[in-house]
Amino acid sequence: MKQAIIIGGGISGLATAWLLREKARGAGVELGITLLEKENRLGGKIWSIKEEGFLCEWGPNGFLDNKPQTLELCRDLNADSQLLRSNDNARKRFIYSGGVLNRLPENGPSFLKSTLISWPGKLRLAMEPFIPQYRGDEDETLAAFGRRRLGEEALNKLIAPMVSGIFAGDPETMSLKSCFPRIAELEAEYGGLIKAMIRLAKKKKAEIAAGKAVASAAGPGGVLTSFRGGIQTLTDILAAELGMSVVRSGEGVVRVAKGESVPWRVVTERGEYSADAVIMATPAYASADFLEGVAPEISGVLRQIPYATMTVVCFGYERERIAYDLNGFGYLIPKQEKLSTLGTLWDSSIFENRAPEGKVLLRSMMGGACFPQYIKLSDAEVEKRVRDDLERTMGITAPPSFIRIFRHEKAIPQYVVGHGKRLEALAGMLPSHPGLVLTGNSYRGIGLNDCVASAHAAASEALRQL
């Protein structure tokens, strides 16, 4: 019987193990699967912490329902009955600028009324259809794209906060094609973003009229979705479904090596495993360490993928102590405002059951690629800076009754310029190491949906090679 080893017990590893088992069964292939995770707790950066009636997400707080694979995974696991869609509040998002929270406009009329972008900035945005299409061969940064197509003000107040909110990244270094490939495709296909929006809207209208599509109020981004017990519910169910016969937690991998009678050996702190296939579902830097002795060329490329730090700060308050209307998703803060936090999510407004009755839960982010030094701040300094920012942005002067601080030394992989070339290099090297598969959020998307899609691809590739 063939043997597959999966290294890493986060969502990528757990989903890959489960999908590989299901695909093997469907193909009538007898396959032994072992998942190795160094921590005693499974789930990786997915961790829903419940204390004093508050539900704090250590990492991501959900996934968008606009891509089918995660929803299909939930249905296949019989977990769809536990899904929880975000409240309509989640549609209302804000940018802090000019001393106030400005709601992001959702349509043309609200954009014209908005004070977030000045009239010169709006006129510059209106010129976007007349900006020449990018013809260069170089990997363009998000900042260069924003300045070229939308102008400096839109870059600073719209694009840069979005990049920090999603990737904790710096738009001056992040790759447009790797971070937002669809935007690059729209410019290449239609010559500009506004032209693309008009053409796609006409196409959708025609499809609706012909009965080939249905109108949707969710928008292109979909609806943020989690579970009543937090996003960790998904990894808990996956781990339970796989069982102890597959999952080995608390067993750290030391290195991966070539075998003699079998293709691969995985050496752990407790022993050694033989495998026909090894699927690396660990962060790029960890995979690089494991592969240093057996595939130094792959290890070298993996080390070129940087990671941003992140400090997540959860504050709980008595609702009556906050005068501000929390009817929304939360807000992001442009770097030019010179505040300490990247933004704050109003978690108890997004999902029910995140705070006790009469209380609210706010979750602020600090650090990222632009402020890596913040990871070293003391808890007291972190608390002070977050409180100062909340007072400035929302007028909150009351002390929080609940505080939790989570630190991520290496939180989110950064798809900096040249990321696509690195992926091409890896694709050219992997065939020299049959049975070795890479998966996870280090490569083609950092979100939970991306991890599930990558798990599907990894499971299919491993089964093909086996």
pLDDT digits (tens, 9 = 90+) for 99-151: 999 999 888 888 888 999 999 999 999 999 999 999 888 999 999 999 999 99
Tell me what pLDDT residue 216 has.
39
What pTM was computed for the model? Answer: 0.93
d(CA 67, CA 106) in angstroms, rounded, equals 21
Question: What CATH number does the domain containing 437 carry?
Answer: 3.50.50.60
Q: Are 296 and 315 part of one and the same domain?
A: no
Identity of the residue numbered 112: L
CB count within 10 Å of CB 139 equals: 18
Tell me what pLDDT residue 211 has.
63
Going by pLDDT thresholds of 50, 70 and 90, the confidence category of residue 88 is confident
Tell me what pLDDT residue 203 has.
81
Strand partners, 437: 279
For residues 285, 15, 445, 189, the Cα torsion angle rounded to the nearest 10 degrees is 150
Identity of the residue numbered 287: S
Domain stop point among 372, 393, 413: 413
Task: Give the DSSP H/E element, type plus range, for residue 101.
Answer: strand 100-103
The domain in which residue 312 lies consists of 307-413
Question: Mean per-residue pLDDT for 420-429?
Answer: 98
Q: Are 276 and 360 part of one and the same domain?
A: no
Q: Are 334 and 200 part of one and the same domain?
A: no
CB 447 within 8 A of CB 64: yes
For residues 385, 391, 396, 400, the Cα torsion angle rounded to the nearest 10 degrees is 10
- pLDDT tens digits, 200-215: 888 877 766 666 544 4
Question: What CATH number does the domain containing 383 carry?
Answer: 3.90.660.20
Q: Of 300, 307, 298, 288, whose CA–CA distance to 427 is shortest? A: 298
Q: Are 301 and 312 part of one and the same domain?
A: no
Kindly state the DSSP code that residue 328 receives in the 8-state scheme.
Answer: S
d(CA 336, CA 99) in angstroms, rounded, equals 12
- pLDDT tens digits, 42-81: 999 999 999 999 999 999 999 999 889 999 999 999 999 9
Look at the chain and report how many structural domains it folds into.
3
Kindly state the DSSP code that residue 31 receives in the 8-state scheme.
Answer: E
Residues in the chain: 466
For residues 206, 209, 214, 218, the Cα torsion angle rounded to the nearest 10 degrees is 60
Q: Residue 85, exposed/middle/buried by CB under 10 A (0-12, 13-18, 19+)?
A: middle
Encoding tokens for residue 274?
């033989």
